[in-house]
Amino acid sequence: MRILFVTNPFRSHLYLQVPLAWALRNAGHEVCVVGPPDMADDIAHTGLPNVSVGEWLLLEERMAQAPPVDDSMGVADPRGQRTGRSVQTDFGWGDPHAELEDLTTGVREVFFPDATIHDLVNFARMWQPDLVITDPTAFHGAVAARVVGAAHARMLFTVDRMGQLRAACRPGFASVGDPMRDWLQPILQGYGCDFDESTVVGQWTISPMPLWMWRPEGVHYIPMRNVPFNGPATTPRWLYEPPARRRVCFTLGISHRDANIDGTSASARDLFDAVADLDIEVIATLNAKQLESVPNLPDNVRAVDFVPLNALLPTCSAIVHEGGCGTFAASLEYAVPQVIAPNDFKVEKWWGSVAMATGLEERGAGVYAANAGRLTADVLRDSLKLVLEDPSFAANAAQLRNETIATPSPHDLVPLLQRLTTEFRTSRP
């Protein structure tokens, strides 16, 4: 088979796809990864064949210029009170159709203008994939799959936010319209194809999230173990030395390291204030920009620009992060109790970090401290002390690891993907 992976312009999304892409390649299938020119070097460093489509997106520059976060809706906890925490079912509770319109407009204008869709269709016609596996908002991949008769699967990176919105809005499409159909149907018709729901949610959906994570109804999910991939990196030798004290990892992720998004992330200063007096060793994977607000590091903090989590986490007793999919998966893989403070940028927390934090806390393997914009040093310190001092968190994290490694791996999924591709692929146009 020929399998085309279509990624969005975030390394964390790409890195999630890499283990499955290599599993298919090692099984003898041809693989190609498509992304915007911004991602060309990152894709090349995975060792996978790749091609760029569309124009440069310059996404970090756009995000740095984004307006302040709109908190007019507020958030509600399960008891209906305004708090610093959210629940996944709050997403779009005021007007899900308006949320779907906003998502559609943003994806079209920022990520995939019509010219990018046509560029990918032209490449797909030339390369003729049998299966197209797309990021959940990479709709140009869905169009290309339909045009060339390929099977189309989505690969989630966290929670199925699109599936959630579609389920909430579907009953009203007849009366208020469907913004996704309005956008994609004319393009598809130009190629002699029609729009249907699988254009948006795929013919099936590969989910790397644990089975205990929240998910919407009405989508064909196939579970897959999220095998953490950290990209090319050099591991410092000190990381292999046993820590003298309990070690804690602090990370704010890799997707937006260079964007200046005020008020949406926990500040490095607050993080360090929370741990300065604790008897722990902190490894903070922060770059120079993220450390601008910190004049001096506490004695128990070592700041490093980047270290691969698969080398760092086996030495850690806890991790503090914002709910990134790769960080979450690596923490499960190495049975590390987690303290999560979901990023507040726009609606990013609804892409999974709220559901991760809530689900992890319900399983007793971590703490949902607060949404990052409302996180204080006191709240963080109390949350971290709880997971470090109560041994049940480590025991429950070990149980979740056992469940995780029992989930089908990317290698295990290959025969199923072959069968589904044969079932859903159509005759060549």
Q: CATH number, domain at 8?
A: 3.40.50.2000
153 shares its domain with 299: no
Q: What integer is the mean pLDDT of 42-70?
A: 80
**Tell me, what's the pLDDT at 41?**
96
Nearest CA to 125 out of 98, 109, 105, 145 is that of 145
Element (H, E) at 118: helix 114-127
Residue 428: pLDDT band (50, 70, 90) is low
- For residue 132, the SS3 value is strand
Domain count, the chain: 2
For 322-348, write each residue's pLDDT tens digit: 888 889 999 999 999 999 998 876 567
- Over residues 152-164, the mean pLDDT reads 93
Residue 166 lies in a domain: yes
Do 151 and 164 share a domain, yes or no?
yes
d(C-alpha 168, C-alpha 163), whole Å: 9
Confidence of residue 70 (pLDDT cuts 50, 70, 90): very low
Q: For residues 271 and 282, give the distance between their C-alpha atoms in angstroms, rounded to a whole number.
A: 10
**pLDDT > 50? residue 72:** no
169-173, 192-196, 219-223, 261-265: least confident range? 261-265
Band the pLDDT of 76: cuts 50, 70, 90: very low
Are residues 153 and 123 located together in one domain of the fold? yes
Q: What are phi and psi of 179, to 5 degrees?
A: -60, -30
Neighbour tally for 212: CB within 10 Å: 12
- How far separated are the first and last CA of the chain, in Å rounded? 17
Same domain, residue pair 27 and 38: yes
The answer to whether residue 429 is domain-embedded is no
Domain contains 347: yes
Whether residue 241 sits in one domain with residue 148: no
When mean pLDDT is compared across 63-67, 374-378, 424-428, the lowest value belongs to: 63-67
Instruction: Kindly state whether residues 193 and 251 are assigned to the same domain.
Output: no
Predicted pLDDT of residue 351: 75
pLDDT at residue 255, rounded to an integer: 47
Flag whether 267 is in a domain: yes
Name the pLDDT band for 296 (thresholds 50, 70, 90). Answer: confident
H or E segment and range at residue 161: helix 161-169
Q: Residues 398-422: pLDDT tens digits?
A: 999 999 999 999 999 999 999 999 9
* Domain contains 232: no
What average pLDDT does range 294-312 have in this prediction? 90
Kindly report the average pLDDT of the chain as a whole number: 88
Q: Is 230 domain-assigned?
A: no
Q: What is the pTM of this model?
A: 0.90
| Residue 212 and residue 248 in one domain | no
Number of other CB atoms surrounding residue 244 within 10 Å: 7
Cα–Cα distance for residue pair 230/215, rounded to 1 Å: 26
Predicted confidence at residue 7, as pLDDT, reads: 96
What pLDDT does 215 receive? Answer: 86
Asked if 207 and 255 sit in the same domain, the reply is no
Residues 16 and 138 in one domain: yes
Grade residue 74 by pLDDT with cuts at 50, 70 and 90. very low
Q: What is the mean pLDDT of residues 103-126?
A: 95
214 pLDDT band (50/70/90 cuts)? confident
Give the Cα separation of 258 and 422 in Å (integer). 43
Is residue 39 located within the same domain as residue 92? yes
386 with 417, same domain: the answer is: no
Distance separating alpha carbons of residues 32 and 56, to the nearest angstrom = 19
Which of 66-70, 74-78, 131-135 holds the top average pLDDT? 131-135
Q: Is residue 231 part of a domain?
A: no
CA distance 120 to 126: 10
106 found inside a domain = yes
pLDDT at 67: 53
200 pLDDT tier (thresholds 50, 70, 90): very high
Q: Is 212 in the same domain as 272?
A: no
Residue 263 has pLDDT above 60, yes or no: no
Domain span at residue 327? 237-405
Which of 238-247, 344-353, 402-411 is least confident?
344-353
